[in-house]
Chains A and B, each alone.
Chain A
């Protein structure tokens, strides 16, 4: 039965991998956008980003935000009391003028083809080719003359008058004049629009935010705001050291491996056992149980003091104690359910995680309730206490305050744990973490008149503060009129990853199976391990980076193939997928001179840390 669960889980994982491979790259439309972006990397290489070039930035790059005022002007005009005709004319002229260079080059080609056509007796295929080329080359200028109307025609006539007619015999010269007349006309029309914008008090705002798991941090875009610049943070992926949480995690995996190795059973059941045990341990780390125990004991203590003073006071404290005990019972039940095979054994891994999330959710709710009850009792006790019970009151207040702090810490721990799991699940179901954030310009963001807008601004990601791979950068441009809030005109979202090959250090648990004879009582041995994975994020596909996230690297494991409780060093090559949650590899026990293959796991929540490690 368990074997089938594992097979089913692996099938789902494989399905997710295939789905991720089939998913199209994020490619927001880039046509007619007021904002365009260029990324500069450390090595000095520059590339366009956003639109078809993908929306993934390197964690350590610099982004230059260009503001196309022409497009911005047209977008704005659509929201201001400007005649539709004026906007349409501006848009049409701009679009046609964008084809200027291509059109002039095609006219050159048509002239050259014409000369060859003459020499080759003008066969029908060549004539067709020439006609098609000439028509497509001439169309932008012809359309410009039509779209520009009589005013553009007058400008063109004036420009033509200043040129020698013999020079105008070269078609290129005439076409160039049409485009020049078009530019003049467009400039005049834009002037009209700018005047309207000035009169109406239109302003522009540009803002940037760094979205992480925990916050949405406004960024400083030079020329556009006076937001504070966080302490520069320059992540160095090449520095391979364990942080304190990883060290603690490694310790927990070691204990877990020891427990697993002491039990019988096959690989599948032991792996599920590992997941269950880690989940249960993680619940303990939230500090909820310790806190509630502390609360109950303190209340009991206070009750014995109060019993001497007032019955009513005692009754209140009894209720409080009962509620604390109820909560402890509930928590114990929850923990038991997490650890029971009968409760979770038939679930697929993703359902198992989802159920755990529901439990954690209800736990958070219970803690919140307990906190409210505590406050109610604290208020009631304060009311009950008379001057003769002042001493006891001080004691109760003290207990209440301590308990309040303790519960608050425990709640934060539970919420953090819940968020960790929630995010991991969300990632696997392809939902974006940042979709629901509402962005608003603060008072620190300047309201700039149209002619005061800089053409570009530069953001060195170093100045966005602490960030991690998978965090996101949002750029928003908005417009408003005097006395009104700015409305959103355009947004662009980028995801930050290490886009060059880099190492990543990960801690986990492996199940090593020696090849050939071994002294092990089972076919495999659980062992704590760490891996140095080499990875490179996709430039195009966020889902690939978030879900598949493959890695290749070196695995180092603490083995004990001869069961003598002295550790042996295992070194191996490892492949990982699904953000390293699943690993497979082949290694060599250096001490025992023995090869082994292994399966590895890592869990989507912190293992072995303490509630004090809450970020």
Chain B
């Protein structure tokens, strides 16, 4: 699969993964869809997310970060700010989440909500773009 708006974090170098992730969260005015895991539903979610982020046709502020290794949750997502009532991304039930324009986790897609529809992903992006 060809991805244009997606950053795939390295599995074998946790420090580099952390560095890339932190830079994407903190240093750029981006709205992120962070997808965690590796399954057919997750693959579909990443591909769909990439297209809805603009794919190769539209230059947008939307990006997808794919954390393929579920074990990196603790390390990567530690210290992320959460919007009220939102599950922690360190929770293994969370299959994907959105980091809004204010760098807060504001929307989650739970594992049992998979496969995610286009509507579900778009709703997440829009809510994240409005900020907290």
Contacts and interface: CB of A to CB of B under 8 A. Distances in A.
A184 interface: no
Contact of A169 (B51, B61, B119, B127): B51
B51 A168 contact: yes
Nearest to B123: A145
Contact of A166 (B57, B117, B119): B57
A77 B118 CA distance: 36
B29 A130 contact: yes
Interface residues of A, number: 38
Interface string A150-185: 000100111111010110111100110110000000
B125 A174 contact: yes
B122 A161 contact: no
A174 B122 contact: yes
Given A141-B126, A159-B119, A160-B122, A170 B57 contact: yes
Contacts of B61: 110, 114, 134
Contacts of A177: 122
A286 to B, nearest CB: 73
Contacts of B117: 157, 160-161
B39 to A, nearest CB: 20
B48 interface: yes
Given A161-B117, A165-B118, A114 B52 contact: no
Contact of A139 (B54, B119, B130): B130
Given A114-B59, A114-B61, A166-B57, A145 B126 contact: yes
Given A145-B123, A165-B51, A174-B125, A115 B130 contact: no
A174 to B, nearest CB: 5
A464 B29 CA distance: 62
A117 B61 CA distance: 11
Contact of B118 (A118, A127, A161, A178): A161
A135 interface: yes
B104 to A, nearest CB: 12
Given A156-B119, A157-B120, A160-B118, A169 B58 contact: yes
A354 B49 CA distance: 81
B131 interface: yes
Interface in B85-132: 101, 117-120, 122-123, 125-127, 129-131
A118 B59 contact: yes
Contacts of B131: 131, 135, 138-139
Contacts of A614: none
Contacts of B101: 131, 134-135
Given A122-B29, A138-B126, 4 more contacts: A138-B131, A139-B130, A156-B119, A161-B119
14 contacts: A114-B59, A134-B129, A138-B130, A141-B126, A145-B123, A156-B119, A157-B118, A157-B120, A158-B119, A161-B119, A166-B51, A166-B57, A170-B58, A171-B125
Interface of B: 28-29, 48, 51-55, 57-62, 101, 117-120, 122-123, 125-127, 129-131
Top-9 shortest CB links A-B: A157-B119, A142-B130, A138-B129, A160-B119, A138-B130, A165-B51, A169-B54, A160-B118, A135-B131
